Every structure is written in structure tokens, then in C-alpha cells.
Amino acid sequence: MPRTPNKGLYAGLMSGTSADAIDAALVDTDGHQCRVLATHSITLPETLRNQVLALCAPGTDELDRAGTVQRRLGSLFAQAVRELLHGSGHRPEQVVAIGCHGQTVRHRPGREGFSLQLGSGDVIASETGIPVVTDFRNRDMVLGGQGAPLVPRFHQRLFARAGERRTVLNIGGMANVTLLDGERLATGFDTGPGNVLLDEWCHRHTGKHCDDNGDWARSGAPLPALLEQLLAEPYFSRLPPKSTGREHFNSRWLSAYLHGDESAEDVQATLTELTAMTIARALADFAPDRLLVCGGGIHNGLLMERLAVHLPDAAILSTAEAGLDPDWVEAAAFAWLAWARMTGVPGNAPEVTGASREAVLGAVYAP
């Protein structure tokens, strides 16, 4: 594909592990600087969200169900872009490309591994009139990598600073970190569950999709024996490269450790401590000077307090302090990955994923 000018407008679309919303960001970038011009979010209809979550575990008629969800999500992604552009006063022809992460329903790293994200690129391109870049993970996996995390190159470009050890922490459904030693990208990996267990447990017992500010967890207390059992999970002690997802950390995983007589609030407090401790332990050897946090978890006040307790030597800040709103880092990252694909710049980082070489990521769908 011919190379396009380095600088331009790109849209990024992100729908994460929580499968609760689609975030869209319009970004002006030359690959080194990213200026977010506009943002927009669409809540996934409850029926569609339930269909997505059902596909995260093996079941009957998976292909038929996945095909239907693929089309429906594609239309919703396209709607998010149209509304983003309408609200910001931009026209489709001003946008070089859309970078769409898609909705992950299966992530199987390892030999002959694969990763499946739903949200038809054909539908998005046809309904917006803009080229679409999607399927970012599988090229890295074919080269022996984990296919995740995908955002460390973006983090490096925006947040690395000479003479400072920085960690960028994204607390989405899963928590992932990018370790920046000065201007060098050291590594990055998924630390384990971020919000996924917290959200599932909260919804099961309160009907709410998340524990606002961690207030429900504050009404309980961590259960030491349960926490010790959860921390013994082998994934947490595995060395990177590594990545994980809802396939591993889900309500079935948690239920295996519960007796059934625990207070729901105490379990929520325990899960909050689990997320904080696994992140802190993962960073113990790197010992960052500064921790830049983004993702939905930054709004959980209790979780942020517990991180500060477990990482007393790190300055814990929002990515907003480094110039990018924490709620829009992931969407902006996929706008940047679209820029990388359209300009022929490698998007993966072998020091993160374990791939045998750098590669340009993503498949392009023309309108």
C-alpha cells in the first residue's frame, strides 16, 4: 500500500474487556505528538453486551452467534465515528483512517495461538466512508509473540523521558504496564485482572456495572486467607512476555476459591487488594520513579489508595499530568496504531510481546 503523509487526522476506537462502551477519539498526529481533538462514547446495549460476554466462553452455535455480533458491533463502531465527527465538525474525507481494536472474545497466546476481536472492518468502512485498520494482534502472534499488550510503542512515543524510570499503568478489565527506562522501552505485560473481577462481582451483588470510587469495597475488609489463595495463582509469578484476559480471570476462576459464606463486601475488598498487590509486585524489580495511570481503574479511589500504599516510593499520577486524559489513552493509541499501519511503521515491540521481529500491524479495509 502506498505510504501516506505522516501527519493527519486519525480516529481510534476502543472497546475493552468490560464490554460496556465504545470509546472514540479523533487524533491529530505525526506519530510523535498526539493531540486529541474530540472524543465520544457509546454505551453497548445490554442485549449486545450480554451476547459479547457469552462469546467469551465456549458454547453452542458460536460461529452463528459470533457472525451476528460481528455485524452489529461493526455498525455500532461506525455510529460512534459518525457521531464523533458530527460533534466535532469534521468530515469523513478529512480522516486518513480509523484504527479499531474491536471487541475481544477470545485471546489464546502460545504456540499456534490466536486472538479474535469482533467488529466488522467492512461494515465500519462502508458505513463511514473511511479506511479502517483492524486485526492488530495476529501478525505479532504469527511471529511468536503474545499479541499483547499493543500500546507500549505508543506509550514510549508519548510518555518516555530521559533520566526517569516511568511506568504507564492501564487499569482496564485487565491491568497492563509499560516500563520505560529513560527513553528506552524496557518491556510491558499484563499484570492480571484490573477491573474485570471487581465489575463482575459488583454487578452480581448490587446490579451496578462497577463499584463507584470503590465505595462498596470500603464497606468490607479484605479476607487474608482468600487473598493469599488468589495471589498464589501461577500467572502472577510467571515471567514476561505474558498476556491474559477474561478467558482466564473470570467469575468461574474466582468461584473456585469461595466457600459461599463470605460477605460480598469482604470479597469486593479482597479483589480490590488483589488488583493493587499484583500490580505492585509486578513493578517491584523495576521500581519506577513515576507511575502514570490511565483506564477506568483510575476512578476507583480505594484502588488508587491501595496502590500508593504498596508503591510508596513512586509518584502516582494520572496520564493527564503528562498531557493525555486517562479515559482516552486507549482510543488514542489505536488512532496512533492506524497511523503506524498507514505509514509503514512497526506497531509491535518484540521486547514486550516476545515476537521474533518488529512488524507493521493491522489489516486495512477500504471504503
Q: Cell 509486585 appears where?
A: 281
Report how far residue 116's alpha carbon sits from residue 55's, in angstroms, rounded to the nearest whole number.
11
Report how far residue 307's alpha carbon sits from residue 138's, in angstroms, rounded to the nearest whole number.
33
How sure is the predictor about 5, in pLDDT bands with cuts at 50, 70 and 90?
A: low
How sure is the predictor about 3, in pLDDT bands with cuts at 50, 70 and 90?
A: very low
Q: Measuring CA to CA, which residue among 77, 68, 72 is closest to residue 21?
A: 77
Helix runs in the chain, H state only: 46-54, 62-88, 121-128, 138-142, 152-159, 196-206, 215-218, 224-231, 234-237, 251-255, 264-282, 301-310, 329-343, 350-353
The domain defined by 152-322 carries CATH number 3.30.420.40: yes
> Residue 91 carries which DSSP code?
-
Distances (CA, A) of 276 to 86, 119, 170, 293, 303: 39, 32, 12, 12, 6
Cβ-proximal residues to 261 (8 Å cutoff; 6+ apart), any chain: none
Cβ-proximal residues to 95 (8 Å cutoff; 6+ apart), any chain: 8, 9, 10, 11, 26, 85, 130
pLDDT at 46: 94
**Residue 176 in contact with residue 329, Cβ under 8 Å?**
no
pLDDT at 16: 86
How do residues 314-335 score in pLDDT, each as one tens digit? Answer: 999 999 999 999 999 999 999 9
pLDDT at 127: 98
**Residue 299 in contact with residue 326, Cβ under 8 Å?**
no
How do residues 157-202 score in pLDDT, each as one tens digit? Answer: 999 999 999 999 999 999 999 999 999 999 999 999 999 999 999 9
pLDDT (average), residues 267-279: 98
**Residue 144 in contact with residue 157, Cβ under 8 Å?**
no
pLDDT, averaged across the chain: 96
**4 pLDDT higher than 70:** no
Q: How far apart are the first and last CA of the chain?
A: 15
> Residue 249 carries which DSSP code?
S
Report how far residue 268's alpha carbon sits from residue 217's, in angstroms, rounded to the nearest whole number.
5
The domains spanning 8-148+328-365 and 152-322 adopt the same CATH topology: yes
Percentage of the residues of the chain whose pLDDT score is greater than 70: 98
**What's the sign of the alpha-carbon dihedral 130, 3, 139, 355?**
negative
One-letter amino acid identity for 77? F
Q: Are strands 290-294 and 165-171 parallel, antiparallel or unpaired?
A: parallel
SS3 category, 290: strand
C-alpha cell recorded at residue 13: 476506537
Least confident of 16-25, 149-158, 250-259, 268-277: 16-25
How do residues 61-107 score in pLDDT, each as one tens digit? Answer: 999 999 999 999 999 999 999 999 999 999 999 999 999 999 999 99
Q: Where are the domains of the chain?
A: 8-148+328-365, 152-322
pLDDT at 306: 98
One-letter amino acid identity for 142? V
CATH class held by domain 8-148+328-365? alpha beta
Other CB atoms within 10 Å distance of the CB of residue 352: 29
